[in-house]
Chains A and B, each alone.
Chain A
Amino acid sequence: MHDVIHDLLGHYNYWIVIILMMTGFYTVIARPNLVKKIIGLFIFQTSVFILFISMAKIEGGTAPIIEEGLSVYSNPLPHVLILTAIVVSLATTALGLALVVRIHDAYGTSNEDDIHVQDEAD
């Protein structure tokens, strides 16, 4: 019984991350509104951040800032990678939203289904 709980706790973070990832993925593929799609992508990206940071955690460790009297630090490398990824995620979000604004100007709608209808009518 103890082993089962240990196993569940040991993978809990990863499973929630996958649920969040799939939530974002579903929003991207199933929702017609383009702003909603970008937000879905944002959820997906954040779930990847949580996956990496969860892997960096060491039981009983502390933040990787060297201090006398401390010996166990969490892994700093995923932190650096994800810090970079957050900045890139802002770049993609900003460009995506700018494209949505231009698409809305050109088609008068930000709904993917309506855009397809207009494209087929041409």
Chain B
Amino acid sequence: MEHLIDIVLLGLLMITGFAIVRMKSLLAVAMLTSIYSLLSALLFVVLDAVDVALTEAAIGAGISTILMLATVTLTRDEEEAPRHTPLLPLAVVTVTGAALIYGTLDMPHYGDPAAPVHQHVASTYLHDTPGEIGVPNVVTSVLASYRGYDTLGEVTVIFTAGAGVLALLGYRTRRRNIQTRKLVVLRVIAKLFFPLILLFALYVLFHGDFGPGGGFQAGVIFATGFILYALAFGLGNAQRVIPHPLLRIMAAVGVLMYAAVGIEGILLGGKFLEYGVLADDPVTGQHLGIMLIELGVGITVAAVMLIIYYSFVSRRD
């Protein structure tokens, strides 16, 4: 059964991929990209990667699509036909693809427990997490504790992306809202969903130790709540709820909070990002450390997503 779902989902992904290449309307392509992303999120659930699925659904199908739609409205919708013949790119792609498929013939079979990928540190993480970290979700324990240093770099990447978009696109404050149509249904639904989305984001943030979730997913979900609000009530109103200067401060505070937890570890006699020393009991310290850095990640991600969204949308006059 699992194989069948896998085969069907991959088949649908392939069809969507081909449709994306062939379609000329870029708005339609952006919507198809969202479907493509949602399908791959479903596939990740089938492949046991629940944390990845949640991230892909929130980031790929959610925020990326909104940014693509915003870009299409800022540029143009219709794609022109290429002036060159597609024969050369087609040849390059076929040869590369054939070489890669030849390369897969040496790979171990899908689902093989004896594959080399499973033989190194992975089993250590699975075995040691309950005793050393004390959280059931191994993805969270590796992301936030064992490889916490990498995740700090990750948050810095997000912060830099926000700064980069802000430098490229700038930002304008909106006093008035452009209202072309009465969006009654959208407004009622948005008002109803807005608190629920924020509540769900907090659940995903603080429940990330036990189930799928964590700072990245929670931050994105938090931001989508405000994006929904901005879509229904206009950018001007959204900026009154959560103003741009506040977002810039939040984006920096999240990263600094993460780094501060690391330095706190040094001050208490441990190593950088060693959480065991944060409390009397090492496992309690791990819990505290993971929660604090996840909170920092969530704050930065939410702020940067909104900064990027404001930058794109405030350019539209």
Contact = CB atoms under 8 A, between A and B. Distances in A.
Nearest to A57: B47
Contacts of B68: 35, 38-39, 93, 97
B5 interface: no
A102 B7 CA distance: 41
A110 B33 contact: no
Interface of B: 3, 6-7, 10-11, 13-14, 17-18, 20-21, 26, 29-30, 33, 36-37, 40, 43-44, 47-52, 55-56, 59-60, 63-64, 67-68, 70-72, 74-76, 79-80, 82-84, 86, 89-90, 92-94, 96-97, 100-101, 104-105, 107, 109-113, 115, 117-118, 121-122, 125-126, 129-130, 136-139, 142-143, 147, 150-151, 154, 157-158, 160-161, 164-165, 168-169, 210-212, 216, 301, 308, 311-312, 315
Main secondary structure of the interface of A (DSSP, over half): helix
Contacts of A65: 50, 136-139, 210-212
23 contacts: A9-B109, A12-B10, A34-B75, A49-B40, A58-B112, A59-B113, A65-B50, A66-B129, A66-B136, A74-B47, A74-B49, A75-B118, A78-B117, A79-B52, A80-B139, A83-B216, A91-B160, A93-B68, A94-B161, A94-B308, A95-B161, A101-B71, A101-B74
A74 to B, nearest CB: 4
Given A31-B79, A91-B157, A91-B161, A63 B48 contact: yes
Contacts of A98: 164-165, 168-169, 311-312
A65 B139 CA distance: 8
A53 B105 contact: no
Size band of the A side of the interface?
35 or more
Contacts of B126: 64, 66, 73, 76
Given A9-B110, A42-B33, A74-B47, 13 more contacts: A10-B109, A11-B107, A12-B6, A13-B6, A35-B29, A55-B107, A56-B117, A58-B113, A63-B50, A66-B136, A74-B48, A78-B49, A110-B75
